[in-house]
Amino acid sequence: MALPIEDLPAWVRLNDVSFDNVEVTDTKDKGYGVLSRKDLTAPEGTVETLQLLAVPYDLILNSFAVEEHAKEDREFKQLLDAVGHHTVLVPTVWTEDERPLLRGTSLEVAVGAKLRALDNEFGMIRDASSTIPSWNDLLWESGTVSFNDWIHLDALYRSRCLELPKSGESMVPCIDMINHSSNPTAYYDQNSKDEAVLLLRPGLTISTGEEVTISYGDTKSAAEMLFSYGFIDPESTSESLVLPLSPFPDDPLAKAKLVAFGKAPKVHVARETGGTIRWESSFAYLQCVNEEDGLDFRVLQDNEGGQQLRVFWQDEDVTDRISEFHKLAQTHPVPEILRLRVVVSVQENLESHLEQLKSELPPHDPSMVREECLKHGLLLRQIETSLLEDAIQALDQEKNSLLEAENVVAYLGSMETSNLDLVGEEASNEADDFS
């Protein structure tokens, strides 16, 4: 907040925010946080919970409130100043010296894409506001508001917004001072007056001076935490990552597949409780099929005279179910062969990311890299390296057992007789030919 923290109590009184037995303090390592002022216990098994904070509805900033505020003549810079310039070290604000720490991680592509999206947004706002005098001055003439301000505003928004049950994605002053823990003591909600409230978790006790914490999402991966909040919780047990996929460069259907799929192709990898690796990618199946398997693209005329790209699988129009292609692919004439191609292709993709993760980081001047960026960048690399190594091993096991499957052996045998080039090759090479 632009207000000095000492002025917070007066602001709180003026705005009818209620702090019940808690206070804001500087936590030193996580910025500001909220501490308990006395020992508190919330009764277990009752709906009655212990309220720690209540913020009136009219202080909640959501899209509806923004529309209302936009009716007044407020300048963008004032909003930026009001939100404050506390640095949230999400990777979009990392410098050119810091960003190479993400090379090979799942955030490398994501951060580049986010910066491009922010650049587009900022360009759109500048264009749309060029004829509005005060905005023209801020965004064009004086250049008071820069692209960097837009990046910082996005970082502040993402790191502070809450998902309220009734008001949706919202900024809530004071509740946005609560830090994260994977063993949280509190949670937020909205009461019958639509106030945003912070409540002690039922059955929990916190002692005087203990920090009140919430969970920013226990299923969020290390990459998601770093991307949205600028830190990784070392206590988190959720291990997952999402990597980009691309069609094979020599695939004549590559462009049609991308257009029909309609979103960025990805592979999701996660470690389940118990350690088993799970991965999924609908696009990996689409990537690995062609016309001989029963895939077809047709351009159809619609009622309005326009043209539509439709996808056919085994002669059925599956355009509207393309995001479920991994399920549709089960009707492949030899599903195990398709699975083998997909497994090999995903394995190769993960291996190339792992290779980059394990390669030396480009030399950098340590004085140009902030300690927190180095700490979280290295932690992300370590978490994703371990997950990728285990996923590659799991894929390798699956590949080997598929190569022994009856259908696969028979299919590969028939291929060998019909294609003398393959005769004499090792089974592992044959698998590579299916990638």
Ligand X SMILES: C[S@@+](CC[C@H](N)C(=O)[O-])C[C@H]1O[C@@H](n2cnc3c(N)ncnc32)[C@H](O)[C@@H]1O
Between 86 and 298, name the residue whose CB sits nearer to ligand X.
86
For ligand X, how many residues bind (rule: CB under 6 A)? 17
Q: How far is CA 390 from CA 80, 140, 232, 275, 382, in A?
A: 44, 51, 21, 9, 13
| DSSP classification of residue 303 | T
Owner of token pair 């699975």: 339
Among 31, 56, 184, 294, binds ligand X (CB under 6 A): 31
- CA 270, CA 264: separation in Å to the nearest integer? 19
Owner of token pair 């602001």: 11
**Residue 347 found at the interface with ligand X (CB under 6 A):** no
**Residue 176 found at the interface with ligand X (CB under 6 A):** yes
Between 169 and 432, name the residue whose CB sits nearer to ligand X.
169
- CA 346, CA 248: separation in Å to the nearest integer? 12
Between 176 and 398, name the residue whose CB sits nearer to ligand X.
176
- CA 116, CA 124: separation in Å to the nearest integer? 12
**Residue 231 found at the interface with ligand X (CB under 6 A):** yes
**Residue 287 found at the interface with ligand X (CB under 6 A):** no
Between 5 and 300, name the residue whose CB sits nearer to ligand X.
5
- CA 247, CA 427: separation in Å to the nearest integer? 25
Two structure tokens written together for 257 = 């597949």
Two structure tokens written together for 288 = 């690995």
The residues facing 51 across adjacent strands are 199
**Residue 188 found at the interface with ligand X (CB under 6 A):** no
Binding segment toward ligand X, per CB under 6 A, in 48-56, 107-115, 173-181, 294-302: 173-181
- Residues of span 55-114 touching ligand X by CB under 6 A: 86, 88
- CA 213, CA 229: separation in Å to the nearest integer? 15
Among 99, 114, 152, 180, binds ligand X (CB under 6 A): 180
> In sequence order, what DSSP letters do the residues of 226-240 get, joined into one string?
HHHHS---TT---EE
Between 171 and 277, name the residue whose CB sits nearer to ligand X.
171
- CA 268, CA 385: separation in Å to the nearest integer? 15
The site map against ligand X for 368-397 (x = CB under 6 A) is: ------------------------------
Between 230 and 377, name the residue whose CB sits nearer to ligand X.
230
Two structure tokens written together for 101 = 């720490």
Shortest Å distance, C-beta 115 to ligand X: 18
Between 219 and 359, name the residue whose CB sits nearer to ligand X.
219
Among 160, 271, 341, 353, binds ligand X (CB under 6 A): 160
Taken as a whole, the chain contains a residue count of 435
Among 21, 170, 179, 236, binds ligand X (CB under 6 A): 179
Among 19, 229, 313, 325, binds ligand X (CB under 6 A): 229
Sign of the CA dihedral with 143 first, then 145, 151, and 152 last: positive
Q: How far is CA 41 from CA 37, 180, 197, 214, 256, in A?
A: 12, 20, 17, 16, 60
Instruction: Assign 430 to helix, strand or coil.
Output: helix
Binding segment toward ligand X, per CB under 6 A, in 7-15, 24-32, 200-208, 297-305: 24-32
Shortest Å distance, C-beta 193 to ligand X: 23
- CA 361, CA 358: separation in Å to the nearest integer? 9
Residue number of the CB closest to ligand X reads 31
Between 231 and 313, name the residue whose CB sits nearer to ligand X.
231
Among 32, 135, 147, 312, binds ligand X (CB under 6 A): 32
**Residue 185 found at the interface with ligand X (CB under 6 A):** no
**Residue 33 found at the interface with ligand X (CB under 6 A):** yes
- Interaction site with ligand X (CB under 6 A): 30-33, 86, 88, 159-160, 176-177, 179-181, 229-231, 233
